[in-house]
Chain A
Amino acid sequence: KNQVEQSPQSLIILEGKNCTLQCNYTVSPFSNLRWYKQDTGRGPVSLTIMTFSENTKSNGRYTATLDADTKQSSLHITASQLSDSASYICVVRTSGGSYIPTFGRGTSLIVHP
């Protein structure tokens, strides 16, 4: 069964600090992995996408890594800002032509001033 597990479930950090969110998956065959940011009461917005051959992808202060061998990904946020407070969702797709991605439950990040 395809599954995506995220940790931690929630995280509180101080403004300016760095943090790392984790995503482990069992989706097979693997096509790509995306990280989405979902602000409270809004729809998710894509941050990064990585395919099998990519190890690192950056989008501003967000850096995602992928280890396809261990089926793990991380999202590192540098110099956090108050606006980073949101839920971060890891989503994995198979390469079998499926229209259905597998979503993690998300990590809720709160950045305090």
Chain B
Amino acid sequence: SQTIHQWPATLVQPVGSPLSLECTVEGTSNPNLYWYRQAAGRGLQLLFYSVGIGQISSEVPQNLSASRPQDRQFILSSKKLLLSDSGFYLCAWSASGHGTDTQYFGPGTRLTVL
């Protein structure tokens, strides 16, 4: 069966510090991968998605970046965190294709920038 992992589960970082969140998927090949952010009381905001290794599409201009160094690994990064980067970050995967399949979400990372 497929599983999706995210770490760390929680993170507290000072403003201006770097960020690296990791997401890995097991039990499937060539998945579509997604990074979402969910601010308190708000809906899910798509940040990045990837349909293959090295292929990243950005939906929202910001100081975050994403990379996909391996087929089932998706990394969210920042060189300098802002207070507004605080939120709940979710990684998700769906079967390859036109993205019409169900998205399966990871457990999330709670990021607090102080």
Residues in B with CB closer than 8 Å to A42 are: 107-108
Which of chain B's residues has its CB closest to A90's CB? B43
Q: How far apart sit A95 and B43, CA to CA, in the bound complex (Å)?
A: 22
Q: In whole angstroms, what is the CA distance A32 to B49 when docked?
A: 20
Question: Does residue B111 face the partner (Cβ distance < 8 Å to A)?
Answer: no
Q: Which of B51, B98, B107 has the most CB of A within 10 A?
A: B98
Interface residues of B, CB < 8 Å — how many?
Answer: 23
Q: Contacts of A95 on B, CB cut-off 8 Å?
A: 100
Determine whether the beta carbon of B100 is less than 8 Å from that of A93.
yes
Q: A99-B98, A99-B99, A101-B103 are in contact. Are A43 and B43 (CB under 8 A)?
A: no
Interface of chain A, helix or strand or loop or mixed? loop
Using known A-B contacts A41-B110, A43-B106, A43-B108, determine if residue A100 contacts B44 with beta carbons closer than 8 Å: no
Most interface-central of B100, B104, B105 (chain A CB within 10 A): B100
CA of A31 to CA of B101, assembled, Å: 11
A34 touches B102 (CB 8 A): yes
